[in-house]
Chain A
């Protein structure tokens, strides 16, 4: 049986309203990832929607300081290594908001 590291998996990016001009208005984007890691998922998202690239450091795939990334319900804080992701995982972009 193949493991997630050996096959293509499907992950879903949740795009917040503030970034949706860069995702053609889409709030959810399902992508196929062949090397299942957070870094690969960012690469695929940016390939699909290049306008989102400005919100990441494209060398390290760290989000800009005004954005937090959540892997399922957990905040990602360590971007130094290939953070593993699994089939059907969710990656959520949560930008800083100040609407009051």
Chain B
């Protein structure tokens, strides 16, 4: 399955008139240490520079995903996150700052990411994902990282990624536990294969340490980098479950549902 997935996800432009962008001397200096990673190298870095990623919500998980991807040199990033900064954001949402309480999160996100990587082509929309905006946003990117705190948003994103056959890194946490998988529509289980219906008992507010949300976020960023850079083995068809109480990590095999309402037709 791995070879098929990697071949399907050929992100290099097929048009020879539109090759991967070259790295500038400044980019060589900044990314030198990660370009030493085996099977990544300068070609991988150019793939990151050429890629566009959408992050749905930029809180405890999404904020760290955005930081890691901006640091790694993703060329273009779209972030969807509404609302103003609240005091309760600050235990985990590393792109929000104390001086910005009461002001738009989108501005804090822009400011912090640009401080880290002024070269990034960044679009932050002051909206959360919904059935209307998911389609045009997903259409503009190569990969999505889903970090939303509501299943309605996650299901809408999953549906669009399946419809547009875009890879989706699905990561979430609760209290001291977290889980992550990577979805390649039509070849791996999608979110609705795992959970066919929106759970009625999920509450918007959940127990969270920033260290837990930030850890699963860094794992999600690594999944995105592997998929875009075409190296390593993404968690395709696997769910990594992390228990930070016992520090036990299990890689579980998950299966597609033939009758999945979202991806069963693929």
Contact = CB atoms under 8 A, between A and B. Distances in A.
A73 B149 contact: no
Q: Which of A27, A65, A100 lies at the interface centre, i.e. has the most chain B CB atoms within 10 A of its CB? A: A100
Contacts of B201: 66
A interface, how many residues as a size bin? 20 to 34
A77 B257 contact: yes
A71 B241 CA distance: 14
A95 B245 CA distance: 17
Interface in B32-73: 57, 59-62
A65 B57 contact: no
Nearest to B63: A100
A86 B207 CA distance: 35
B19 interface: no
A19 to B, nearest CB: 10
A68 interface: yes
B252 A17 contact: no
Interface in B239-266: 239, 241, 243, 245-246, 250-255, 257
A100 B149 contact: yes
B interface, how many residues as a size bin? 35 or more
B124 interface: no
Contact of B252 (A16, A75, A97, A100): A75
B211 to A, nearest CB: 13
B255 A99 contact: no
B144 to A, nearest CB: 13
B174 A17 contact: yes
Given A94-B239, A97-B178, 9 more contacts: A66-B195, A66-B197, A74-B252, A77-B255, A77-B257, A92-B250, A94-B252, A97-B172, A100-B61
